Amino acid sequence: MDETNCGGVPSAGWPALPPAMCDELLRQVTDQTCAAIWLQECSTGKTLYVSPNFAAIFGRTGHEHATPPGDRWSMVHPDDRDSAREAYHRDATRGTHDEQYRVVRGDGRTVWIRERAIPIRDERGQALCLTVIFEDVTSRCQAERQLRRHALELAGAGQLAAVASLVAGIAHQINQPLHAIANFAGACKNLAASGSDDAPRRIAAWAAEIDAQVRRASDIISQWNRAVHAGARERAIVDVNQLVRETLELVTCEAGDRGVRIILEERTSRPATVRGDRLQLQHALVHLLDNAFDAVESLRPADRQVTVTTEADSVHVIVRVRDVGAGLGDADIRKLCEPFFTTKEGHAGLGLTISRRIIASHDGELSAATHESGGAIFQFEIPASR
């Protein structure tokens, strides 16, 4: 939107309007938009106007934050507050301010807000006041992230479908030599029981046939193995800190809906890079985050916290996901990565199995433990790129 020049000088072709009519025009315009509009005087920071739909977006009346104007930052989510305030003070009077952040409404619900600031200038170009526009973009953010999440899941589903097709193909070809082996073995058993004088010679011949069929099955597996590696996705250098941040963006809306606060701790003094398949690693981390969200779901909303930590040294890069749930028993830890094992009703129990296999395919290791202060820790470590 273009900056507006004012200061009592009407735009060309427009008649000068009396103040009462200007107020009515402003009211009609703001009533027709879903956004909230806030006019702030630049020299004093004083609030000049707050549109009525401010309350609908923020769950609070505009007058609650009219004096002093700085109090509005108390509505911004603690994790976003400093960066949002810094961006506003840096960019607002330049006409370039366009920021998104989370706000905690008066009813306790967290929403995503897009904030834009447009300076209104006098004839000398001096900013007199700011028109600050607030738009609730929660649904848009959720849709965008859900689309990205679905794209990731579809890619994972495509990988699973490819695995299913691979298994079906192997099973079809392996069944033929296995069927022959079973027939020859059964014939050997029956012939040995018959006591025939010719039994040793014929059993030896059939044993040779069994050996040939075993080699045939082994060759089939080798052929499929070469085909799989020939069609594997090319691996590249992956910045793990960046990958973790992007993955957290994918699950931010889900975490908000479930009342889970995510804390990211990057404890890396050196580049945290690995050579791998970015999509697969992201898929593995999403499963671990889903598991952590489930673990804290029964807690009070204020206690639902998941901490993601990254560490790196010259040998490994480590990603750790910790929840504050009930923790894990020794038996659970031993069984967690078994297919279809789950401690949660209504879950298929494949997420951790998939994650473990993805990490193992990167020459890494996935492990689980109960934290000494409570809750579970899932971590994977992968060789650092050289």
Taking a C-beta distance cutoff of 8 angstroms, is the pair 132, 159 a contact?
Answer: no
Distances (CA, A) of 117 to 3, 92, 102, 140, 153: 10, 5, 17, 20, 37
Determine the pLDDT at residue 203: 77
For the cut 50, the answer to whether the pLDDT of residue 375 exceeds it is: yes
Taking a C-beta distance cutoff of 8 angstroms, is the pair 103, 77 a contact?
Answer: yes
Express each pLDDT in 237-276 by its tens digit: 999 999 999 888 878 777 877 888 899 999 987 888 999 9
Taking a C-beta distance cutoff of 8 angstroms, is the pair 248, 152 a contact?
Answer: no
Q: How confident is the model at residue 102 (pLDDT cuts 50, 70, 90)?
A: confident
Determine the pLDDT at residue 69: 41
Q: How confident is the model at residue 120 (pLDDT cuts 50, 70, 90)?
A: confident
Distance CA 97, CA 115 (A): 8
What φ, ψ does residue 352 adopt, rounded to 5°?
A: -70, -35
* Element of type H or E holding 100: strand 97-104
Q: Are strands 4-5 and 110-121 parallel, antiparallel or unpaired?
A: parallel
Express each pLDDT in 180-229 by its tens digit: 777 777 777 777 777 777 777 877 887 787 777 777 777 767 666 665 55
* Element of type H or E holding 239: strand 236-239
Distances (CA, A) of 217 to 14, 80, 170, 211, 224: 87, 59, 9, 10, 11
Q: Contacts from 173-178 at CB under 8 Å and sequence distance 24+?
A: 173/220, 173/224, 174/217, 174/220, 174/221, 177/213, 177/214, 177/216, 177/217, 177/220, 178/213, 178/217
Distances (CA, A) of 32 to 37, 136, 369: 12, 15, 55
Under DSSP, the state recorded for 108 is S
Higher-pLDDT residue of 329 and 298 is 298
Express each pLDDT in 31-66 by its tens digit: 556 788 888 888 888 888 888 778 788 877 555 554
List the one residue out of 330, 329, 348, 326 whose CA is nearest residue 339: 348
Share of the chain above pLDDT 70, in %: 70
Highest mean pLDDT among 12-21, 94-103, 203-212, 223-232: 94-103
Determine the pLDDT at residue 276: 92
The alpha carbon dihedral of 181, 184, 187, 191 has a sign of: negative
Distance CA 78, CA 104 (A): 9
* Element of type H or E holding 365: strand 365-370
Q: What is the DSSP string of 188-217?
A: HHHHHHHT-TTHHHHHHHHHHHHHHHHHHH
List the one residue out of 262, 263, 265 whose CA is nearest residue 253: 262
For the cut 50, the answer to whether the pLDDT of residue 119 exceeds it is: yes
pTM over 0.85? The answer is no
For the cut 70, the answer to whether the pLDDT of residue 153 exceeds it is: no
Using alpha carbons only, what angle is made at residue 346 by residues 340 and 349, rounded to the nearest 5 degrees?
20
Taking a C-beta distance cutoff of 8 angstroms, is the pair 115, 88 a contact?
Answer: yes
Mean pLDDT check: name the lowest of 18-22, 90-94, 274-278: 18-22
Distance CA 162, CA 284 (A): 17
Q: How far is CA 223 from the centre of its chain?
A: 37
Work out the average pLDDT over 154-159: 60
Say whether 342 sits in a helix, a strand or coil. coil
Tokens 């606060």 correspond to: 261
Q: Which two tokens stand for residue 10?
A: 């009407």
